[in-house]
Amino acid sequence: MAASAVYSLISKKENAHEEPIYCCVWTTIVNEQNSKNSQDFLVTGGLDNLVKVWCLQNNRLELLHTLDSHCMAVVSVAVSPDGHIIASSSLDTTLMIWELTTGIKVHEIEMGGTDIWKVAFSPTGTQVVSGSHTGKLSLYGIVTNTVDRVLDTRGKFALCVAW
């Protein structure tokens, strides 16, 4: 079966970033009083060092925030299970934690000269795991603002992580 028989394009955004997009994630924030009023968001990161938060309204992507604290390419973005927190990682060796709806940077964690290639949230949203080119997996506590644990994969590249 052709993809066009199952899927259709509802929105297209030309020149969303000035450089190539490396990563994106979709999330929905559910309105607890009325789930029909839930809001969909797309978070993108790219070679232009930016994280952008897009709101999908009436089948159109509207830019909500441009988050510009990274100084090298953003290679991974993740959103907490409740949809309210973004984690972004960059080749500048930083892990950044942001509030999705306000665009406020909550934490900036310097990972000690180690490129971070992928980030993922724990199922509870209280921790983020990051994987690096050195094979280190770092568990970062959102509430405590600390690296809770570092796991070593014996120097093997950790290109992908999942919880």
DSSP, collapsed to helix, strand or coil, labels residue 163 as: coil
Under the banding of pLDDT at 50, 70 and 90, the label for residue 132 is confident
CA 134, 158, 98, 58 dihedral sign is positive
Q: Enumerate the domain spans of the chain.
A: 19-31+39-152
Task: For the domain covering 19-31+39-152, report its CATH number.
Answer: 2.130.10.10
Under the banding of pLDDT at 50, 70 and 90, the label for residue 1 is low
- pTM equals 0.89
| pLDDT tens figures, 133-161 | 888 888 999 988 888 898 887 777 777 88
Let me know: does 119 contact 161? Beta carbons within 8 Å: yes
| pLDDT tens figures, 96-106 | 999 999 999 99
Q: How many C-alpha atoms does 11 have within 13 Å on its Cβ side?
A: 15
| pLDDT tens figures, 21-62 | 999 999 999 877 776 788 999 999 999 999 999 999 888 999
Residue 11: predicted pLDDT: 76
